């Protein structure tokens, strides 16, 4: 009876990829569901199934409504809210922001559940594609392309779950990580296999699984498609993974593969005005008026219209962020000022918010999971750390991202004389990441990987301004003014709260997994 109970629970949690009618498959957007009876019976059905797969990774569910787990706004806002460069203004992400989560807390619970549901969808699709190729419905080459895309999605989602629910690779790669699920749970045998292999892999094994999936994706996906993952997306994402592993030579090797294929836009706002077709876009999840996570999960709805996360005075007041940097240009909506193309910040009731996501009517902003700016900064950091010296190539890569935002690049662009050591250059690159990717969900990844770092160590979760609306008097651009209260104290790296708890639902369903220590 206990075995049957576990199977029923895990089936509810993991199998939502096989539930709709044939008519549903013919809808324009099947979102999170595909029917195995018809999903792989023709090239047209397979293409529609792939649309549904991508939507499944971006939409997610929270008590039946969309919230954008994992790769809608939840990815961006959860990772921002775990850091100190934004302020949670409401209760929406308060528990994430203040680190008071437990095994039943909704945001981290659904992050896990929807993440693994999406991973299972990918595994179901991979199995269906293999059969379709065997039966001649599509060619082997077409099947490998589709499978590469599914494995890309599977790999990056395991990686994202890993940095939320486990400690960094650099601490102890043989410590417990998370399960790496490659079995399609759509039959009794598949369910038995998943349960038998339901425990945590080591952190090293999870990284190996991620890289194996990304290598397969790079080798087998065809040329890039704007609304889908291309082979370049796999290469670019590997620079992120290897950065976390501190494999500097591998970061350089991967970044070099796509040098010259992308270019930085001339203005810092341009990647967000044309967020599908700009020259630095590598990968994101496509959205439109009919297929987006809605008011609780779309980027423009949560960051912009609902103003759930403000820009923190902690980063705003940093004097190393130049006062005349174009990324500081504010549309003062309190004064009735119109938002123009060059604005990346808005002032609303004396509080600052990002304008990177603008379509508050249709929520059509693509989620910018990977921009070329990240690849260039990953490359610059790896070059500097590997050489342990100030080298012009690394400075050039840093400047390629930074210079377009400078008021006077001729005088403000970095030169070798600006850095007395490799350590200073690395710190400049890390600050540039905070500025360039503000409100893009990068901050937690950097906090996570910089624990115990030899150059710029972060101890645990930084102290933050209280949940709520920052006072106007706290904003003092580029002043180093720290007169604001840090009402939320830092949490040391040794504290159990540094990583999220596994949700109670997983512990009930999976007898082979252990809760993270401290919970």
H helices within 135-230, ranges in order?
Answer: 140-165, 188-196, 203-220
Distance of CA 406 to the CA centre of its chain: 27
What is the per-residue pLDDT for 20? 34
Beta bridge mates, 176: 202
Contact by Cβ (8 Å): 435, 327: yes
Highest mean pLDDT: which of 50-59, 166-175, 289-298? 166-175
* Residue 295 DSSP symbol: G
Q: Is the confidence at residue 182, as pLDDT, over 70?
A: yes
Question: Which of 21-25, 51-55, 68-72 shows the highest mean pLDDT?
Answer: 51-55
Lowest mean pLDDT among 7-11, 296-300, 475-479: 7-11
pLDDT of residue 24: 33
Give the residue, 65 or 472, on which the prediction is more confident.
472
Question: Which residue is it, tokens 């549901």?
Answer: 117
Q: What angle do CA 509, 445, 483 make, to 5 degrees?
A: 120
Per-residue pLDDT for 139 more than 90? yes
Supply the angle between the helices 140-165 and 106-134 in degrees, to the nearest 10. Answer: 160
- Which pLDDT band, with edges at 50, 70 and 90, does 308 fall under? very high
**What count of residues does the chain have?**
519
Instruction: Give the model's pLDDT for residue 453.
Output: 98
Q: Which residue has the tokens 């008097």?
A: 473
Q: What is the pLDDT of residues 110-136, one digit of tens each?
A: 999 999 999 999 999 999 999 999 999
Residue 336 is given by DSSP the state T
pLDDT of residue 297: 84
* Separation of CA 235 from chain center: 16
d(C-alpha 496, C-alpha 491), whole Å: 9
User: For 435, what's the count of Cα atoms within 13 Å in the CB-facing half-sphere?
Assistant: 29
Give the per-residue pLDDT at 98: 98
Average pLDDT over residues 65-69: 78
* Backbone dihedral angles phi then psi of residue 241, each to the nearest 5 degrees: -65, -45
**Phi (first) and psi of residue 189, to 5 degrees:** -65, -45
Higher-confidence residue of 267 and 33: namely 267
- DSSP annotation of 304: I
Return the percent helix, strand and coil in the chain, to nearest 5: 50, 10, 45
Give the pLDDT score at 36.
Answer: 62
Q: What is the spatial distance between Cα 231 and Cα 219, in angstroms, rounded to a whole number? A: 7
* pLDDT given for residue 18 in this prediction: 36
Residue 507: count other Cβ atoms within 10 Å of its Cβ. Answer: 15
Nearest to 353 by CA among 336, 370, 332: 332
Amino acid 193: pLDDT: 80
Report the DSSP beta bridge partners of residue 127.
Answer: none
Mean pLDDT of the residues in the chain:
90
3 state SS of 313:
helix
Looking at the DSSP bridge assignments, the partners of residue 419 are: none
In Å, what is the CA distance from 282 to each residue of 399, 476, 492?
20, 35, 35
Whether the Cβ atoms of residue 467 and residue 504 lie closer than 8 Å to each other: no
Q: Which of 201-205, 271-275, 278-282, 318-322 has the lowest mean pLDDT?
A: 271-275
Task: Please give the pLDDT value at position 28.
Answer: 31
Half-sphere exposure of 259 (CA within 13 A, CB side): 15
- What is residue 15's predicted lDDT score, i.e. its pLDDT? 37
Given this model, what pLDDT does residue 192 score? 77
Cα-based distances in Å from 172 to 168, 204, 245, 451, 458? 7, 9, 11, 12, 17
Mean pLDDT confidence for 72-78: 90
Percent with pLDDT over 90 in the chain: 80
Name the nearest CA neighbour of 117 among 505, 516, 442, 512. Answer: 505
d(CA 480, CA 294) in angstroms, rounded, equals 38
Residue-wise burial string across 356-378, b where 16 or more C-beta atoms lie within 10 A, e elsewhere: bbbbbeebbbbbbbbbbbbbbbb
The number of C-alpha atoms within 13 Å of 89 and in the hemisphere containing its C-beta is 20
Report the C-alpha dihedral over residues 45, 142, 287, 231, rounded to 10 degrees: 170
Residue with the bigger pLDDT between 418 and 190: it is 418
pLDDT higher than 80, residue 22: no
**CA dist., res. 248 & res. 458, Å (int):** 19
| Model confidence, pTM | 0.93
* Least confident residue range of 191-195, 290-294, 431-435: 191-195
Element spanning 5, H or E: helix 2-14
**Is residue 33 pLDDT above 50, yes or no?**
no
Using 50, 70 and 90 to split pLDDT, how confident is the model at 224?
A: low
Q: Tell me, what's the pLDDT at 3? A: 41
The residue assigned the tokens 């997306």 is 233
Residue 467: its pLDDT value, please? 97
Nearest of 495, 448, 502 to residue 199 by alpha carbon = 502
- Read off the pLDDT of residues 342-393 as tens digits, 9 standing for 90 and up: 999 999 999 999 999 999 999 999 889 999 999 999 999 999 999 999 999 9
């Amino acid at each position: 009876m206990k075995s049957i109970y576990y199977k029923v629970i895990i089936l509810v949690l993991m199998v939502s990829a096989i539930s709709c009618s044939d008519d549903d498959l013919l809808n324009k957007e099947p979102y999170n569901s595909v029917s195995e009876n018809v999903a792989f019976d023709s090239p047209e059905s397979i293409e529609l199934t792939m649309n549904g797969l991508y939507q499944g990774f971006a939409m997610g569910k929270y008590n039946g409504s969309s919230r954008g787990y994992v790769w809608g706004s939840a990815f961006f806002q959860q990772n921002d809210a775990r850091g100190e460069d934004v302020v949670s203004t409401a209760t929406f992400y308060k528990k994430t922001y203040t680190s008071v989560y437990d095994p039943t807390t909704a945001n981290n619970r659904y992050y896990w559940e929807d993440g693994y549901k999406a991973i299972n969808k990918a595994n179901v699709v991979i199995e269906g594609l293999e059969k379709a190729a065997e039966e001649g419905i599509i060619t082997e080459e077409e099947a490998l392309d589709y499978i590469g895309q599914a494995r890309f999605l599977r790999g990056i989602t395991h990686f994202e779950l890993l940095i939320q629910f486990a400690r960094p690779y650099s601490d102890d790669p043989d410590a417990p990580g998370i399960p790496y699920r490659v079995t399609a749970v759509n039959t009794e045998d598949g369910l038995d296999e998943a349960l038998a292999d339901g425990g945590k892999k080591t952190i090293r094994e999870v990284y190996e699984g991620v890289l194996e999936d990304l290598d397969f994706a790079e080798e087998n996906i065809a040329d890039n498609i704007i609304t889908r993952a291309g082979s370049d997306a796999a290469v670019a994402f590997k620079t992120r993974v290897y950065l976390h592993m501190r494999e500097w030579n591998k970061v350089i090797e991967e970044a070099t593969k796509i040098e010259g294929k992308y270019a930085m836009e001339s203005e810092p706002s341009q990647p967000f005005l044309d967020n599908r077709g700009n020259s630095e876009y590598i990968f994101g999840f496509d959205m439109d008026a009919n297929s987006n996570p809605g008011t609780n999960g779309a980027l423009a709805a949560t960051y912009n219209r609902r103003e759930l996360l403000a820009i923190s005075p902690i980063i705003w007041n940093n004097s190393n962020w130049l006062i005349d940097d174009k990324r500081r240009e504010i549309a003062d909506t309190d004064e009735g000022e119109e938002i123009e193309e060059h604005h990346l910040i808005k002032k609303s009731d004396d509080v600052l918010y990002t304008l990177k996501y603008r379509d508050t009517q249709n929520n059509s902003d693509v989620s910018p999971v990977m921009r070329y700016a990240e690849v260039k900064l990953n490359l610059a950091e790896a070059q500097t750390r590997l050489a342990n010296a100030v080298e012009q190539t690394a400075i050039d890569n840093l400047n390629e991202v930074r210079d377009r935002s400078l008021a006077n690049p001729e005088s403000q662009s970095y030169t070798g004389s600006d850095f007395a050591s490799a350590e200073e250059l690395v710190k400049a690159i890390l600050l540039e990441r905070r500025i360039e990717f503000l409100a893009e969900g990068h901050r937690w990844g950097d906090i996570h990987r910089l624990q115990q770092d030899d150059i710029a160590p972060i101890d645990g979760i930084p102290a933050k301004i209280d949940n709520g609306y920052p006072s106007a008097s706290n904003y003092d651009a580029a002043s180093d003014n720290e007169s604001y209260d840090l009402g939320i104290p830092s949490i040391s790296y040794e504290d159990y709260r540094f990583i999220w708890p596994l949700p109670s639902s997983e512990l009930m369903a999976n007898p082979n997994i252990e809760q993270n220590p401290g919970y």
